[in-house]
């Protein structure tokens, strides 16, 4: 046992003598979820919430019932990009928490939907944060869903480990951007998934390039991409590049992520649907 042990085995990968059986979270009895997919980024600010919103919206347009669990407790952004203003509340019988439906029918649960003001900071330690994510799985009445996307917090810390070990996910999608520093962190995320026997379903590079509106040339604003090299190294397919598009940023700021069409994601959508 490490001298820094907090006795939370769900958020620890060490195989020590003090280890207890990892708790498996059970979904709410009224939740029937067919597929659970995590969206992970090794670093913040690369667009995992955007990718979560785009994938859920694209599948909803194909007729699937989708939801997004916002596991980024201290930096939630899913309600904003879906334009959700109302708060989540208890079911009529008090049996659980009802997620809020976006304009396109996607069900969303986020800590911001429980706060009095969406700008209130969440100053919690790790144990409280992982507990909240667990409750979004066990206490929220998701109903019938074909796909639930879990928008993970940045990095490979407590929440990521808890989701990997305690929620039955089908696999993860890793989101990155072209900077070399981010690429290095992606390597760590892929290796962590491998050690924990989690399938990587795809690799998405956001802000990969800017297309010139006049000549159509692809301008690599953040440096040369290593996406295909990384995907090849770890045998990940598909590997997808999403361009930097001011119109997409505007749609998210206005709560209209479901209006965005991103053809580049089609190969990934076909793989998971």
- More confident call, 122 vs 102: 102
Q: Mean pLDDT over residues 70-87, rounded? A: 93
User: Cα torsion for 248, 250, 253, 259, to the nearest 10°?
Assistant: -50
Q: How confident is the model at residue 11 (pLDDT cuts 50, 70, 90)?
A: very low
- Rounded Cα distance, 109 and 101, in Å: 9
- Which pLDDT score, from 0 to 100, does residue 186 have? 79
Instruction: Check whether 67 has a pLDDT greater than 80.
Output: yes
> Which residues neighbour 197 within 8 Å (Cβ) at sequence distance 6 or greater?
none
Burial 197-207 (b: 16+ CB within 10 A, else e): ebebbbbbbbb
Q: What is the pLDDT of residues 173-221, one digit of tens each?
A: 999 988 766 667 778 888 889 888 999 999 999 999 999 888 989 999 8
Q: How confident is the model at residue 6 (pLDDT cuts 50, 70, 90)?
A: low
- More confident call, 154 vs 97: 97
- Which pLDDT score, from 0 to 100, does residue 1 have? 46
- Which pLDDT score, from 0 to 100, does residue 74 have? 86
Q: Mean pLDDT over residues 65-75, rounded? A: 94
Q: What is the pLDDT of residues 38-66, one digit of tens each?
A: 999 877 888 999 999 999 999 999 999 99
Q: What is the pLDDT of residues 222-273, one digit of tens each?
A: 888 888 988 998 899 999 999 999 999 999 999 999 999 999 999 999 999 9
Burial 128-151 (b: 16+ CB within 10 A, else e): ebbebbbebbbbbbbeebbbbbbb
Tokens read off for 66: 């989708």
Q: How many CB atoms lie within 10 A of CB 247?
A: 9
- Rounded Cα distance, 150 and 163, in Å: 9
Residue 56 and residue 106 in contact, taking contact as beta carbons nearer than 8 Å: yes
Instruction: Check whether 145 has a pLDDT greater than 80.
Output: yes
Q: DSSP per residue over the chain, as a string?
A: --TT--S-GGG-----TT--PPPPPPPPTT-EEEEEEEEEESSTTSSHHHHHHHHHHHHHHTT--EEEEE--SSS--HHHHTT--SPPEE-TTSSSEEPEE-TTS-EEE-GGGTSSSTT------HHHHHHHHHHHHHTB---EEEEEEEEPPSSSSHHHHHHHHHS---EEEEEE-SSHHHHHHHHHHHHHHHHTT--EEEEEETT--EE-TTT-PEE-TT----HHHHHHHTT---EEE----HHHHHHHHTT-GGG---GGGHHHHHHH-
- More confident call, 53 vs 21: 53
- Which pLDDT score, from 0 to 100, does residue 263 have? 94
- More confident call, 98 vs 3: 98
């Amino acid at each position: 046992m490490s001298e820094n042990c907090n006795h939370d085995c769900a958020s620890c990968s060490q195989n020590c003598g003090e280890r207890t059986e990892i708790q498996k979270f059970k979904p709410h009895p009224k939740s029937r979820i067919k597929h659970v997919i995590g969206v992970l980024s090794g670093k913040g600010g690369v667009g995992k919430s955007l990718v979560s919103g785009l994938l859920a919206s694209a599948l909803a347009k194909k007729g699937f019932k989708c939801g997004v669990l916002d596991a980024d407790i201290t930096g939630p952004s899913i309600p904003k990009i879906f334009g959700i203003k109302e708060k989540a509340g208890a079911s009529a019988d008090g049996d659980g928490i009802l997620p809020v439906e976006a304009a396109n029918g996607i069900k969303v649960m986020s800590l911001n939907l429980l706060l009095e003001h969406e700008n209130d900071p969440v100053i919690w330690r790790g144990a409280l944060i992982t507990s909240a994510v667990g409750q979004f799985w066990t206490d929220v009445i998701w109903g019938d869903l074909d796909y639930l996307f879990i928008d993970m917090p940045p990095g490979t810390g407590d929440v990521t480990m808890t989701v990997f070990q305690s929620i039955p996910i089908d696999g993860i999608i890793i989101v990155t951007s072209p900077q070399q520093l981010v690429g290095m962190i992606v390597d760590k995320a892929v290796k962590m998934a491998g050690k924990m026997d989690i399938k990587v379903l795809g690799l998405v590079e956001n802000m990969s390039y800017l297309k010139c509106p006049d000549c159509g040339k692809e301008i690599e604003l953040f440096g040369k991409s290593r996406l295909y090299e990384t995907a090849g190294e770890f045998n990940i397919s598909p590997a997808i590049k999403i361009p930097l598009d001011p119109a997409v940023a505007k749609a998210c700021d206005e709560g209209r992520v479901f209006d965005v069409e991103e053809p580049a994601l089609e190969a990934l959508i076909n793989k998971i649907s």
